[in-house]
């Protein structure tokens, strides 16, 4: 079945060109293949509706609204370089379409090559999977989500845009063994630690890019029991993985100065090492080490153990990752 007729194709193409220029201004999309993907894939087909937070709660914008002004607002919003809330249940955000410039940074960090097989954890709207399909071809892309409603919606959006990757309903922490092995794994949801199942489903030398704490850890896989790498410089806030591995960042502890907790760099460290450092220890360490940026931190997975570290995996500053991966 081919792609359906897109009544917003013309306006969408113009808005898409403007979005690509905006992302390029951040120094991203240096790879022509990813520039071509963002130029070609119509984001608006993946967000036929989304929610905008307001004083009275969430306002739903959608493509079929009878008011032309509201339809225009929906289309313009679909091509802003902003995350979009796509599913809200009982006032809680459960799924979103990530900020396009952040998606571009993540995709370029994966360093994919022709013929690579990619596993995406967190199907979302299907937009990221479509970008991967444009770059690699449908047969090389697998996307997994726990929520059947989300996977069905993603499958519908992908078909409307003319793409057909494998869309699997299942627990992303368990990967997708029936489609393994993979050359790249990318998660679009926050986890407390790296699921060992991902490593066991990777080819040697594969890359795993996953949100941890409020950052993005890029790990090189040696084998099914070993991986290591550093965090990217960029902040990253994602919806938590649902299922047994789900976990949310802690609330501000009593006694912690608001200024420190609201500093993005401290919040990253505090969430990353909260099971090893109490509030005072974390604040003292952070200040003593010169308020380190994310890229000074890394993660090692080795023989059933996982730890985060500052500067050197064998150095004096290391903490076990919180939570129990499966």
**What single string gives the DSSP state of each residue in 258-296?**
HHHHTSHHHHHHHHHSTTTS-HHHHHHHHHHTTS--GGG
Question: Residue ranges of the chain with pLDDT lower than 70?
Answer: 1-4, 91, 242-252, 323-326
**pLDDT score at 295:** 96
In a domain? residue 262: yes
Q: Tokens for 167, please give them.
A: 């869309």
In a domain? residue 204: no
Domain tally for the chain?
Answer: 1
Main-chain phi, psi angles of 127, to 5 degrees: -65, -45
Residue range(s) defining the domain that contains residue 303: 258-320
In a domain? residue 241: no
Distance in Å from the first CA to the final CA of the chain: 38
224-234 b/e with 16+ CB inside 10 Å = b?
Answer: eeebbbbbbeb
Active-site residues: which are they?
95
pTM for this prediction:
0.92
In a domain? residue 24: no
CA-to-CA dists, residue 122 to 83, 137, 244, angstroms = 15, 19, 15
In a domain? residue 311: yes
* Contact (CB, 8 A) for 82 and 99: yes
**pLDDT score at 242:** 63
- The separation between CA 236 and the C-alpha centre of its own chain, rounded to angstroms, equals 8
**pLDDT score at 94:** 75
In a domain? residue 288: yes
In a domain? residue 289: yes
**pLDDT score at 68:** 94
In a domain? residue 110: no
Cis peptide bond N-terminal to 214, omega within 30: no
């Amino acid at each position: 079945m081919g792609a359906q007729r897109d009544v917003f194709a013309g306006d969408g193409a113009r808005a898409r060109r403007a979005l690509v220029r905006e992302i390029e201004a951040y120094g991203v999309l240096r790879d022509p293949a990813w520039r071509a993907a963002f130029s070609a894939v119509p984001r608006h087909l993946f967000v036929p509706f989304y929610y905008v937070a307001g004083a009275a709660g969430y306002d739903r914008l959608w493509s079929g609204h009878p008011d032309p002004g509201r339809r225009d607002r929906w289309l313009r919003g679909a091509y802003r370089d902003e995350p979009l809330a796509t599913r809200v249940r009982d006032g809680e955000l459960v799924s979103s379409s990530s900020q396009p410039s952040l998606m571009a940074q993540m995709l370029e960090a994966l360093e994919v090559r022709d013929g690579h097989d990619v596993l995406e954890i967190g199907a979302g709207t299907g937009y990221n999977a479509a970008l991967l399909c444009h770059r690699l071809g449908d047969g090389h892309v697998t996307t997994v989500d726990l929520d059947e409603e989300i996977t069905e919606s993603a499958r519908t959006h992908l078909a409307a845009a003319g793409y057909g990757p494998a869309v699997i309903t299942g627990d992303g922490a368990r990967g997708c063994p029936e489609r393994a092995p993979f050359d790249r794994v990318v998660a679009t949801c926050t986890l407390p630690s790296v699921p060992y199942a991902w490593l066991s489903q990777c080819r040697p030398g594969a890359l795993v890019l996953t949100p941890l704490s409020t950052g993005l850890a890029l790990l090189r896989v040696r084998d099914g029991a070993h991986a290591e790498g550093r965090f990217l410089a960029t902040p990253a806030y994602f919806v938590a993985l649902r299922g047994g591995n789900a976990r949310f960042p802690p609330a501000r502890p009593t006694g912690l100065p608001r200024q420190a907790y609201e500093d993005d760099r401290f919040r990253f460290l505090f969430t990353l090492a909260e099971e090893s450092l109490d509030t005072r220890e974390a604040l003292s360490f952070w200040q003593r080490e010169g308020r380190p940026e994310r890229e000074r931190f890394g993660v090692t997975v080795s023989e059933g153990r996982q730890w985060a570290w500052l500067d050197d995996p064998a150095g004096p500053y290391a903490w076990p990752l919180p939570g129990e991966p499966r």
